[in-house]
Amino acid sequence: MRFSEFDLDQDIIKGVCEAGFSECLPVQEKTFCQTLKGRDVCVQSQTGTGKTAAFLVSIFQALAGEKRNRKCLIIAPTRELAVQIEEEAKLLGRFLNLRIGCFYGGVAYRKQEKLLEGGEIDIIIGTPGRLIDFARQGKINLREIEILVIDEADRLFDMGFLPDIRWMLKRMPEYNKRQTMLFSATLSSRTRQIAWEHMNDPFEINLTPDRVTLEAISQVIYHVESREKMSLLLGILKEGEPRSALIFTNTKQAAFMVSNRLEHNGYQSEYLIGDLPQNKRQEIVEDFKSGRLQYLVATDVAARGLHIDDLDLVVNYDLPEDPENYVHRIGRTGRTGKSGRAITLACEKFVMGLESVESFIDMKIPVVWADESFLETDESEGMRFILDNERNDRQPVRSRQKPGHDNRPPRGLKPPRKSPPVRADGKRREARNEEATRKVQPDASDAERLAFYSRKYGENFKSVNH
């Protein structure tokens, strides 16, 4: 169906058309059929299928005309997703004269507080922590919320926000006195429990999201040794010459390392991890979205809510350990019906997760074999890049060369970016790094393997039950 076939306010139609849309996507059509009647919905849909416009247009219609004074709240799991929703709301609702505000942590309070002054804001978009802060201070009155959207509910719950969501829901009007829309990649038991407790007989919409997301994406997998992954990545980038590529790693240390190695090989790159200051993260995302940055290396902090138009290529430098993350990662390309490419490098460290990934997506990923001629020389070979968690600027630390190398960088190699001197306790840090890189034993228990990953990558790992 076309947007114009629904009984929408003409200013909504005008905004949608000027944004370049005319035909509804499946999630939008099915959602409008329920939400425009005022009914609650519980929607299973991946990112990249048009769900943001589905709930935004529903909100706009609910706020049209004499209902203009109704308050709406949209809860998102990450700052990046909240900002993206705000941008799309301002784009689609440009002719509606609605006041829209975005609230998230990692930045100063004052600018966000000014948006709330006078209580005139119509649509509040935010992450749980900052929303609760403002609610406790009385600057957001949850009792006024008549329309609620919980976006990427499964991600919110995975990140530990379930108690926060319950806290907010208990302070809102009763479930039958507000309209609630819940969107989730999977309708898990936790998601359905929230729907049962806090929604008014929601209509369930299931779009078999895995297939919707994957059908437009060309997928291949390379089996490769860890020591050759960078050379293979360089070969992939040289052959494919993507206009933009999003490269995923399983850890922040790996993201830091891959980004620096790409730079040393002449590829403009940045890394995106959760530890970066919010303003730096926003700057990197904007540079990537605008095309000023060609290559972005990220952990799963960017796997959801990062909307890049016409993203050429997604590379799983590390095969994700959670099968759902595979779908979320490659879903950054091939969005809204467009074609895309996804390449996965399966090394001995993470290949054990391949079977569960293929089971989850219900298909075998085609295998491609690379011969020696396809591998490119890695100009950063022999260097190590250590993400120094005790430094606020997150700059690389240059360590000693491999045995057999002198202390000079390879010929023609530029020095590391803003490389600071090694700290006084560098020997101790190097010894710890050597200890952390010892191989995990094949017969190790799950607890031993997780402890090994924590030592090696400097992150807290936990088992995920499916």
pLDDT band at 320 (very low <50, low <70, confident <90, very high): very high
Helix locations, 63-208, DSSP H? 79-92, 109-116, 128-136, 153-158, 162-170, 189-198
Centroid of chain to Cα 88:
16
pLDDT per residue as tens digits for the range 388-434: 654 434 444 444 344 444 444 444 444 444 444 443 444 433 433 44
Centroid of chain to Cα 7:
34
Distance CA 286, CA 59 (A): 26
Tokens describing residue 393? 């600027």
Query: Looking at the domain that runs over 3-207, which CATH code has it been given?
Result: 3.40.50.300
So what's the pLDDT on residue 42? 94
* 248 φ/ψ sector (left φ>0, alpha ψ -120 to 50, else beta): beta
Distance CA 78, CA 400 (A): 37
Distance (Å) of CA 265 to CA 229, 250, 258, 410, 412: 14, 22, 11, 11, 10
Q: Is the pLDDT of residue 110 over 70?
A: yes
Distance CA 22, CA 36 (A): 18
Centroid of chain to Cα 154:
13
Which position has the token pair 């966000």? 112
Distance CA 52, CA 62 (A): 15
Give the range among 22-31, 50-59, 285-294, 395-404 with minimum mean pLDDT: 395-404
So what's the pLDDT on residue 404? 43
Residue 152 burial class via C-beta count within 10 angstroms: exposed 0-12, middle 13-18, buried 19 and up: buried
Q: Which of these, 216, 150, 155, 149, lies nearest to 185 by C-alpha position? A: 155
Distance CA 235, CA 465 (A): 36
Query: Looking at domain 212-422, does it have CATH number 3.40.50.300?
Result: yes
Please name the helix (run of DSSP H) or strand (run of DSSP E) that holds residue 13, with its range, or none: helix 10-18
Distance (Å) of CA 224 to CA 156, 235, 377: 34, 13, 15
Q: At a CB cut-off of 8 Å and minimum separation 6, what does 67 contact?
A: none
Top mean pLDDT of 152-161, 169-178, 213-222, 364-373 is at 169-178
Q: Is the pLDDT of residue 209 over 80?
A: no
Q: Is the pLDDT of residue 352 over 50?
A: yes
Helix axes 51-62, 79-92, angle to 10 degrees: 60
Q: At a CB cut-off of 8 Å and minimum separation 6, what does 331 contact?
A: 46, 47, 48, 213, 217
Helix axes 446-457, 426-436, angle to 10 degrees: 150
Where does CATH 3.40.50.300 sit in the chain? 3-207, 212-422
pLDDT band at 67 (very low <50, low <70, confident <90, very high): low
Q: Are 457 and 449 in contact (CB under 8 A)?
A: no
pLDDT per residue as tens digits for the range 224-276: 999 999 999 999 999 989 999 999 999 999 999 999 999 999 998 999 987 78
So what's the pLDDT on residue 212? 44
Q: Is the pLDDT of residue 457 over 90?
A: no
* Averaged confidence pLDDT in the chain: 81
So what's the pLDDT on residue 8? 93
pLDDT per residue as tens digits for the range 75-103: 999 888 899 899 999 999 999 989 999 99
Residue 85 burial class via C-beta count within 10 angstroms: exposed 0-12, middle 13-18, buried 19 and up: buried
SS3 assignment, position 26: helix
Distance CA 142, CA 136 (A): 10
So what's the pLDDT on residue 191? 84
